[in-house]
């Protein structure tokens, strides 16, 4: 039996979806003993355990940490990890946690007699993440990484402590091996989009060329590169929709400036499905993503994708059929592929893009 913990609300955002997938997979196989999270699924009051964040919210609003996002993130991970360790009282065989949030709980689980410690590597090796985020800052002049060296050191200790590390892409798996993690610890798993991501029943072309990005709007995700490519795209009726929010005031100001200069760019927070059902292409210009749910959801909706070499789900892209993989950090490469798709729209079978193996296969 397994206990799972994740700081992100159940089913919210990429990490929350990842968490929900693992909970449901363990539930379906009869291995779920319980889970700990900031929010729980309705009806799970018996096995879902809430982890309180009231004091952390006060820190974010009133302490000097609110001006230091990487330290705020580190403190948040530490507070969650320590509270789960304090609350953990479910008897089970295995504890599963996410990187950066599990070291203290690993110790408590061992003390309770858990025989297996499992770690979810949502990103590539933490040192690779640092390198890729540093490159984003160097190229774009915006440093908005969520990762500092204290969190990186904690993650390295989690790699050492874990008995099993789950990876969800070959990109992540290869980076961990290159970073010195023993291959015997690694277990490959496969993630899929939520069933609600399906192609629209009908779509009537109206002459517009709609480009979509979904996710956190920041430099490490490469959003400024997409903006640069879009502003140079020669198409009278092109439009770009950004679905998501920013993590820093710098990016908030940048987004407002982009929209003020070019009314074809719009922000549309909320459910991404209606936006995807109108999209012609999805672009994921990230500097690093261990997997990336959003482009997988786009493929599930029948929308072709442009993703970078540092996106884990790139292995699901069939070049020239359902999308393209471009060099990381190149707005020129993004622009070239956008221009191609304008002239040569891609159509494909959405159902053929998602593998079906269960967790641990």
Q: 288 versus 62: which is more confidently predicted? A: 288
290 pLDDT more than 70: yes
DSSP state of 5: E
pLDDT of residue 161: 98
76 pLDDT more than 90: no
pLDDT of residue 269: 83
Alpha helices in the chain (DSSP H): 13-28, 54-62, 69-87, 103-111, 126-140, 149-161, 170-178, 223-232, 249-261, 273-276, 293-300, 331-343
- What is the rounded distance in angstroms from the CA atom of residue 140 to the CA atom of residue 280? 27
Q: 107 versus 191: which is more confidently predicted? A: 107
> Out of 39-43, 131-135, 221-225, which region has the weakest mean confidence (pLDDT)?
39-43
Q: Is the dihedral of CA 189, 194, 195, 199 positive or negative?
A: negative
What percentage of the chain has pLDDT greater than the value 70? Answer: 92
Please state the length of the chain. 361
Output the 3-class SS for 130-185: HHHHHHHHHHHCCCCCCCCHHHHHHHHHHHHHCCEEEECCHHHHHHHHHCCCCHHH
Q: How confident is the model at residue 350 (pLDDT cuts 50, 70, 90)?
A: confident
CB contact at 8 A, 129 and 172: no
DSSP state of 246: B
pLDDT of residue 353: 67
- What is the rounded distance in angstroms from the CA atom of residue 126 to the CA atom of residue 107? 21
85: left (phi over 0), alpha (psi -120 to 50) or beta: alpha
CB contact at 8 A, 190 and 356: yes
What percentage of the chain has pLDDT greater than the value 90? Answer: 72
pLDDT of residue 38: 85
Q: 246 versus 284: which is more confidently predicted? A: 284
What tokens appear for 105 in the block? 């709980």
Report the greatest alpha carbon distance in the chain: 64
CB contact at 8 A, 10 and 45: no
Residue (of 46, 78, 41) closest to 59 by Cα position: 78
Average pLDDT over residues 245-258: 86
> Out of 164-168, 269-273, 313-317, which region has the weakest mean confidence (pLDDT)?
269-273
pLDDT of residue 61: 60
DSSP state of 9: P
Q: How confident is the model at residue 281 (pLDDT cuts 50, 70, 90)?
A: very high
Average pLDDT over residues 115-141: 97
pLDDT of residue 164: 98
- What is the rounded distance in angstroms from the CA atom of residue 65 to the CA atom of residue 69? 7
- What is the rounded distance in angstroms from the CA atom of residue 244 to the CA atom of residue 58? 24
Question: Could you tell me how far CA 119 lies from the centroid of its own chain?
Answer: 16
223 pLDDT more than 90: yes
pLDDT of residue 68: 55
pLDDT of residue 358: 43
CB contact at 8 A, 10 and 39: yes
Which tens digit of pLDDT belongs to each residue from 133-163?
Answer: 999 999 999 998 989 999 999 999 999 999 9
pLDDT of residue 73: 72
pLDDT of residue 359: 43
Q: How confident is the model at residue 307 (pLDDT cuts 50, 70, 90)?
A: very high
Residue (of 278, 310, 311) closest to 294 by Cα position: 311
Average pLDDT over residues 87-109: 95
pLDDT of residue 360: 43
97 pLDDT more than 90: yes
- What is the rounded distance in angstroms from the CA atom of residue 276 to the CA atom of residue 270? 12
- What is the rounded distance in angstroms from the CA atom of residue 206 to the CA atom of residue 215? 26
pLDDT of residue 100: 94
Cα-only R_g, the chain: 20
pLDDT of residue 139: 96
199 pLDDT more than 50: yes
């Amino acid at each position: 039996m397994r206990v799972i913990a994740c700081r992100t609300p159940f089913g919210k955002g990429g990490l929350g979806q990842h968490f929900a997938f693992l909970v449901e997979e363990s539930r379906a196989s009869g291995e779920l003993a319980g889970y700990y999270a900031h929010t729980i699924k309705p009806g799970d009051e018996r096995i879902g355990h809430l982890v309180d964040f009231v004091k952390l919210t006060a820190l974010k609003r009133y302490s000097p940490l609110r001006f230091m996002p990487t330290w705020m993130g580190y403190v948040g991970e530490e507070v969650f990890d320590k509270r789960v360790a304090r609350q953990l009282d479910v008897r089970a065989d295995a504890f599963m946690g996410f990187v950066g949030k599990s070291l203290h709980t690993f110790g408590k689980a061992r003390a309770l007699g858990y025989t297996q410690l499992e770690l979810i590597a949502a990103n590539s090796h933490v040192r690779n993440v640092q390198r890729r985020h540093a490159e984003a800052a160097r190229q774009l002049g915006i440093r908005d990484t969520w990762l500092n060296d204290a969190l990186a050191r904690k993650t390295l200790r989690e790699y050492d402590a874990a008995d099993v590390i789950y990876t969800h892409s070959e990109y992540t798996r290869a980076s961990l091996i290159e970073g010195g993690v023993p291959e015997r610890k690694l277990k490959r798993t496969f993630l899929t989009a939520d069933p609600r991501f399906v192609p629209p029943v009908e779509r009537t072309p109206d002459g517009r060329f709609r480009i979509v990005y979904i996710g956190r709007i920041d430099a490490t995700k490469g959003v400024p590169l997409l903006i640069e490519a879009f502003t140079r795209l020669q198409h009278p009726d092109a439009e770009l929709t950004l679905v998501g929010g920013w993590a820093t005031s710098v990016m908030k100001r940048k987004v407002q400036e982009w929209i003020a200069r070019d009314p074809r760019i719009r922000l549309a927070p909320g459910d991404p499905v209606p936006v995807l059902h109108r999209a012609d292409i999805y672009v994921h210009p990230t500097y690093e993503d261990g997997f990336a749910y959003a482009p997988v959801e786009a493929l599930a909706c029948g929308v072709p994708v442009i993703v970078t070499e540092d996106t884990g789900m790139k292995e699901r892209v069939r070049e020239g059929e359902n999308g393209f993989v471009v060099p990381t950090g190149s707005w020129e490469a993004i622009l070239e592929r956008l221009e191609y798709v304008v002239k040569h729209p891609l159509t494909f079978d959405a159902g053929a893009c998602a593998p079906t193996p269960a967790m641990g296969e």
